[in-house]
């Protein structure tokens, strides 16, 4: 599967699945950068897949619908432009690839993610970031924890395509909480890669289990005796105030 990114806003990634000259998009928060790429590369827009209602994920949808030939898929609710509303266990097929929908509320109540098991990838919007997770704006700690654990139960080789370049700032928080040589070395190497113009996404689930405390695989020592939801809630509160 060929996937590339289109930068949007200050740190958003619009993910593009490509097959020949045909493309489908995940979370086009802006139309202009997408239209520029389509024009420059002579591409055909087929489908759009949306994860949740925040404007930086859906803002370009209605304008892009004017040039697309397929459908807009997204969660149930009132997002303008959706043709097919999908929820847990529904299937979305685009460019010959079949995605399963999993509901991942917490960041928002309508949040969903798209999993393609054959190629071991997930487009998870703002649920799980590299070395972090999304803020809880509408849901509960329990919902967000459950959603992240859904992702954590995927194949460890799953590639995680989240929607923001937050990794360096997330790692700053992790390093302030956990003294770990692997994480420290990874952080140093990542800073060099980013300085060279590379990006940190996709990340792999097996790596996240080593650097992301929100999966609860690694933890600050003072949280290890708590129940899982207490661990998660305390971590999220600390990150919110970091």
pTM of the model: 0.97
- φ/ψ region of 91 (left if φ > 0, alpha if ψ in -120 to 50, else beta) reads beta
**Which secondary structure element, helix H or strand E, spans residue 169, and what is its range?**
helix 167-177
Using CB atoms within 10 A of its CB, is residue 42 exposed (0-12), middle (13-18) or buried (19+)? exposed
| Predicted local distance difference test score (pLDDT) of residue 218 | 96
| Predicted local distance difference test score (pLDDT) of residue 82 | 98
Mean per-residue pLDDT for 166-188? 98
| Predicted local distance difference test score (pLDDT) of residue 157 | 98
CA distances from 35 to 11, 66, 93, 131 (A): 18, 11, 23, 31
pLDDT, mean over the chain:
98
CA distances from 178 to 91, 142, 172, 219, 240 (A): 39, 23, 10, 7, 17
| Predicted local distance difference test score (pLDDT) of residue 15 | 98
Mean per-residue pLDDT for 213-230? 96
| Cβ neighbours for 72, distance < 8 A, ≥ 6 positions apart | 47, 48, 50, 61, 65, 81, 82, 83, 84
Which token pair is 143?
């919902």
pLDDT in tens, 76-93: 999 999 999 999 999 999
pLDDT in tens, 109-152: 999 999 999 999 999 999 999 999 999 999 999 999 999 999 99
- C-alpha to C-alpha distance for 217 and 205, rounded to whole angstroms: 11
| Predicted local distance difference test score (pLDDT) of residue 92 | 98
**Domains annotated on the chain, with CATH:** 2-165+199-208 (3.60.15.10)
| Predicted local distance difference test score (pLDDT) of residue 136 | 98
Taking a C-beta distance cutoff of 8 angstroms, is the pair 69, 46 a contact? yes
| Predicted local distance difference test score (pLDDT) of residue 113 | 98
Relative to beta strand 132-133, strand 159-162 is unpaired
| Predicted local distance difference test score (pLDDT) of residue 138 | 97
| Predicted local distance difference test score (pLDDT) of residue 177 | 97
| Predicted local distance difference test score (pLDDT) of residue 125 | 98
Taking a C-beta distance cutoff of 8 angstroms, is the pair 204, 157 a contact? yes
pLDDT in tens, 24-72: 999 999 999 999 999 999 999 999 999 999 999 999 999 999 999 999 9
């Amino acid at each position: 599967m060929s996937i590339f990114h289109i930068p949007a806003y200050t740190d958003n990634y619009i993910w593009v699945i490509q097959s020949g000259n045909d493309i489908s998009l995940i979370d086009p928060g802006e139309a202009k950068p997408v239209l520029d790429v389509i024009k420059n590369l002579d591409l055909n827009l087929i489908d759009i897949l949306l994860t949740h209602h925040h404007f930086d994920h859906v803002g370009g949808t209605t304008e892009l619908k004017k040039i697309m030939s397929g459908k807009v898929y997204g969660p149930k609710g009132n997002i303008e432009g959706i043709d097919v509303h999908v929820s847990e266990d529904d299937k979305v097929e685009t460019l010959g690839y079949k995605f399963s929908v999993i509901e991942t509320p917490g960041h928002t109540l309508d949040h969903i993610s798209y999993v393609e098991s054959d190629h071991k990838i997930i487009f998870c919007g703002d649920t799980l970031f590299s070395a972090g997770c999304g803020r809880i704006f509408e849901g509960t700690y329990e919902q967000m924890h459950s959603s992240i654990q859904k992702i954590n139960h995927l194949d460890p080789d799953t590639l995680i395509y989240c929607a923001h370049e937050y990794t360096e700032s997330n790692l700053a928080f992790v390093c302030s909480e956990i003294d770990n040589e692997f994480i420290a070395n990874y952080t140093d190497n990542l800073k060099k890669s980013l300085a060279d113009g590379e990006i940190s996404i996709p990340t792999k689930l097996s790596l996240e289990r080593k650097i992301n405390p929100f999966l609860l695989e690694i933890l600050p020592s003072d949280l290890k005796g708590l129940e899982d939801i207490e661990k998660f809630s305390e971590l999220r509160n600390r990150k919110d105030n970091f």
